[in-house]
Amino acid sequence: MSDVFVSYARSTEPEAMKIAAALRAKGYRVWRDDEIPAHRAYADVIEERLKSSKAVVVIWSADAAKSQWVRSEADTARAAGTLVQISVDGTLPPMPFNQIECAELKEWKGDADAFGWRKLEDSVAALVGPLEPERTDGHSRRRNSICVLPFVNMSGDAEQEYFSDGISEDITTDLSKVSALSVTARNTAFMFKGQSVDVCDIARKLGVSHVLEGSVRKAGGRVRINAQLIDGSTGDHLWAERYDRELDDIFAIQDEISHSIVDALKLKLLPAEKKAIEQRGTNSVDAYNLYLMARNFWVSGNHGDPRREERVMRICGQAVALDPGYARAWALMALAQSNLRAGFSHGGDGGLPAAHKALSLDPNIAEAHCVLAQNLAYDGKTEEANAELEIALRLDPESWEANKEAARISMLQRRIPEATRYYEKAASLMDGDFHAWGMLCTCYRSAGDRPKFMHAAKMLVERAETALQQDPSNGSALGMIASGFGILGEKDRAKEWIDRAMLIDPDNLNMQYNFACVLANELADTDAALEILKPVFDRCGQFILSVVDSDPDMDVLRNDPRFERMLADLRQRLDQEAAASPAAAT
């Protein structure tokens, strides 16, 4: 088990990573919540690690002082006599922890001679005691490690890509439940998607012993899957199999692949791990296929067009009709319903009933907490929204949806550094997320980080072009490409893409808003920016107003009298609409 447990609020994750790395460099075994295995309940792992650690380092900050999780962990450590406290932003520990000494590490740069660091290190050393001799079996720890490359879609239909990607992700998740096997993260493996690769070269780059590659052909009611397990040092096939079966057998095929890999590597599969691998969330292959299809539209669909949300709701509605116990389908439907309320002022229940249904089926589903957070934020309950997001990220730090929602709400609160970290995480988790790269352009521009700003623009164009290959009418992708070219200094190409996008998707208000940002900032054309903003302000709802109020990209326009008048008119219209609504009358 661990020598040191690190407790912190999500907003101080960079500081937690730095402190954990420094302690590891001193020889301590350090644990923080990014190491929770996929098959274990979050609360169970936390309790187990807290009780077994010899020192618990609590990183206090303004957010940590408000966090029920951090305070609970601190209280457990205080009772056990293992509590070590530090502050990274000058925040004093709340009662009753203020009775215990707290080291100060504000703006710590990693200096080993800093007074606060020496105090922390001395306390940890006193609690942990003599360190065990340094282990020398680093190579053996990587002996059983694997990268699951994205399975190639051989269906002859690009729209079936979601299915082959889903198979790859599920096998990755299954193998990550095997404690004796180290599995490369999905986002790292998907970097090689669509490339002609040398398996031994990949294994060497990633430091893994084995690579799994394969292909999927889905046609009608049948599926054909080829899979090969390859020794990364020799290129030899350890195991290979071809499955040609009815589509209804897809879960059995996935189980067989996972078990075959375990057997080929001569690993021991614990009973709890075997059970975890066989849990799919649904027994309905049709519901599973519908969920994969809906999530593909959710990730890469036309952001800013309510038809994306409506499509996801329809597909998920069919999935839960087939299997009312499918928690992930309920949660995804809730996200779409919540987005319609927050992003398009469509009213409705904001997805709350569907989110609560998902949580009743699976209390550990992070995406449902995102829905609760979005609704709370929409109602102006900022602290409660942040608390729900913290729960979502605690439950699943690797959730794309949770990181994306945390980024969005941080941006609305103009907490740019936090938004930047969450958008960076989201972009790394989902290779098809061009929108995150667009938002990172805004974040890096605000921070004055030009190298990252330009890199984000290049990634934005690259990812958006990939999305257009799947759907040439995707107005969001068209708009993002125009923005990217504007940032990269290709003004003529940017204007060409703006004209093209306006012809293809003239009703996408988000897209037009983004055009105004690039026109005002990169193209320095204030008149054109205001002209394109006017119809947006004439039709938009409360959400876009909240974006305008917090968006650094709008700062260049804020002192323009024309912008001020447009903004005043927008506020007046929304106030009048709110006063005339049935809710206001009651």
Instruction: For 249-317, give the DSSP string.
Output: GHHHHHHHHHHHHHHHTT----HHHHHHHT--S-S-HHHHHHHHHHHHHHHHS-TT-HHHHHHHHHHHH
pTM, two decimals, is 0.67
Is the Cβ–Cβ distance between 298 and 308 less than 8 Å? yes
Q: Say which CATH class 139-280 falls into.
A: alpha beta
The span from the CA of 90 to the CA of 6, in Å, is: 18
Decide yes or no: CATH 1.25.40.10 for domain 281-363.
Answer: yes
Give the bridge partners for 224, in sequence order: 217, 244
What is the predicted pLDDT for the residue at 43?
Answer: 65
Around Cβ 586, how many Cβ atoms within 10 Å?
Answer: 5
Q: Which residue has the tokens 């109020």?
A: 549
Spell out the CATH class of 431-586. Answer: mainly alpha
Q: Determine the CATH number of domain 4-128.
A: 3.40.50.10140
The pLDDT score that the predictor gives to residue 564 is 93
> What distance in Å separates the CA atoms of residue 63 and residue 91, rounded to the nearest whole number?
9
User: Could you tell me the residue ranges of all domains in the chain?
Assistant: 4-128, 139-280, 281-363, 431-586
pLDDT of 139: 33
431-586 has the same fold as 4-128: no
Range list of H helices, 430-490: 434-447, 450-470, 475-487
pLDDT tens series, the chain, 586 aa? 568 999 998 888 888 888 888 888 788 888 877 655 544 555 667 777 888 888 999 999 998 998 888 888 898 888 888 999 999 988 889 988 888 889 999 888 888 888 889 889 889 988 888 765 443 333 333 468 899 999 999 887 776 788 888 889 889 888 888 877 888 877 778 878 878 778 888 888 788 889 999 999 988 789 999 999 999 888 888 899 999 998 888 888 888 898 899 888 888 767 777 776 667 788 898 899 899 899 888 887 777 788 889 999 999 999 999 999 999 999 999 999 998 887 776 767 889 999 999 999 999 899 999 999 999 988 889 899 999 999 999 888 888 999 999 999 999 888 999 999 999 988 888 877 888 999 999 999 888 988 899 989 999 998 888 888 878 888 888 888 988 998 888 988 888 988 888 888 888 888 888 889 889 988 889 999 999 999 889 888 777 888 888 889 899 999 999 999 999 999 998 888 878 765 544 4
Residue 21's SS3 state is: helix
Q: Cβ distance 208 to 146 under 8 Å? A: yes
Sequence-separated (6 or more) residues with CB below 8 Å from residue 472: none
- Report the half-sphere exposure of 38 (CA within 13 A, side-chain side): 26
HEC profile of 197-248? CCHHHHHHHHCCCEEEEEEEEEECCEEEEEEEEEECCCCCEEEEEEEEEEHH
Q: What is the pLDDT of residue 214?
A: 92
User: Looking at the chain, how many residues does it have?
Assistant: 586
